Amino acid sequence: MRIEILADEAAVAVRAADLVCDALRAKPDALLALPTGNTPVLAYAELARRVAASEADFARASIYAIDEFADATRTTPGTNSVFYREHVRLGQRVLHCPNPSAQDPDEHIRAFADAIRRAGGIDLCVLGIGTNGHIAFNEPGSARDSRARVVALTHASREAHTATFGSLAAVPSRGMTLGVADLLEARSIVVLATGARKASIARRAIEGAQTAEVPASWLQSHADVVWVLDAAAAAELSATTQ
């Protein structure tokens, strides 16, 4: 596990873009698993700038979502499907996102994870971390060997999406997600964390015990994971970690 601490969220975005571009240079047809949320938005803007300037080329790359809400539609504001259309405009070969209106979401997300494995597996998985330690929609209580499934979303996770859905009541109560074990199969993982609200959970995930109560802590067991944090998110890390 490598820890990189940068000045602010803008610097985190640039570094995240660097790491994605490094993966593309190493393997132009890389399979990338990318997150939604506020944290990666600046990184996607930086990547789009690089594509426009011919500094990055996603033409052979495949992009896969790591989760999606259930019981919605592909055009419901706030869904990951809408987020990717708005923010991930990189000229990639293909972008796959689970269907939020799938009739059988459990079967759908399992098939989605199987498709990733058949395509060769994830080369680089970029993750955010929730204030409760979730990665993708793996909420507290998620075991290390958990696989793709439908989960009940916690109040904290639903509340984080209130603005994009318009109200808390409009946020679906269930989500489809790649499991912890699916994420850990990625060859490389990058975790982004910015802001003081992430400081406590970043410390627990990086320095605490590996536990289902902090799903991001399972990443400690991965052979190639890089945490990229701004100074505010790293504020509670011990001097030895930094």
User: In angstroms, rounded to a whole number, what is the distance separating the alpha carbons of residues 139 and 180?
Assistant: 10
Whether 240 has a pLDDT exceeding 80, the answer reads: no
Percent of the chain with pLDDT over 90: 98
- Show the tokens assigned to 17: 């873009």
Determine which helix (DSSP H) or strand (DSSP E) holds 152, and give its type and residue range.
Answer: strand 149-152
pLDDT of the residue at 241: 79
pLDDT, the chain, mean: 96
pLDDT of the residue at 239: 72
Is 220 part of any domain?
Answer: yes
pTM of the full structure = 0.96
User: In angstroms, rounded to a whole number, what is the distance separating the alpha carbons of residues 192 and 233?
Assistant: 10
Beta-bridge partners for 152: 174
Is 57 part of any domain?
Answer: yes
pLDDT of the residue at 86: 94
* pLDDT tens sequence across 1-16: 999 999 999 999 999 9
pLDDT of the residue at 11: 98
Pairing status of strand 124-127 against strand 94-96: unpaired
- Show the tokens assigned to 193: 């964390």
Sheet of strand 124-127, all strands in order from the earlier edge strand to the far edge: 2-6, 225-230, 188-193, 124-127, 31-34, 62-65, 94-96
Is 239 part of any domain?
Answer: no
Asked if residue 208 lies in contact with residue 217, where contact means CB atoms within 8 angstroms, the answer is yes
Q: What is the mean pLDDT of residues 176-196?
A: 98
User: In angstroms, rounded to a whole number, what is the distance separating the alpha carbons of residues 235 and 242?
Assistant: 10
* pLDDT tens sequence across 166-185: 999 999 999 999 999 999 99
Q: What is the CATH number of the domain that holds 172?
A: 3.40.50.1360
* pLDDT tens sequence across 200-230: 999 999 999 999 999 999 999 999 999 999 9
Q: What is the mean pLDDT of residues 127-155?
A: 97
pLDDT of the residue at 2: 96
Domain tally, the chain: 1
User: In angstroms, rounded to a whole number, what is the distance separating the alpha carbons of residues 162 and 3?
Assistant: 31
Is 65 part of any domain?
Answer: yes
Is 127 part of any domain?
Answer: yes
User: In angstroms, rounded to a whole number, what is the distance separating the alpha carbons of residues 4 and 211?
Assistant: 23
Is 211 part of any domain?
Answer: yes
Active site residue ranges = 67, 132, 134, 139
Q: What is the mean pLDDT of residues 44-57?
A: 97
* pLDDT tens sequence across 65-113: 999 999 999 999 999 999 999 999 999 999 999 999 999 999 999 999 9
> What domain range is 49 assigned to?
2-230
**C-alpha R_g of the chain:** 17
Is 197 part of any domain?
Answer: yes
Is 235 part of any domain?
Answer: no
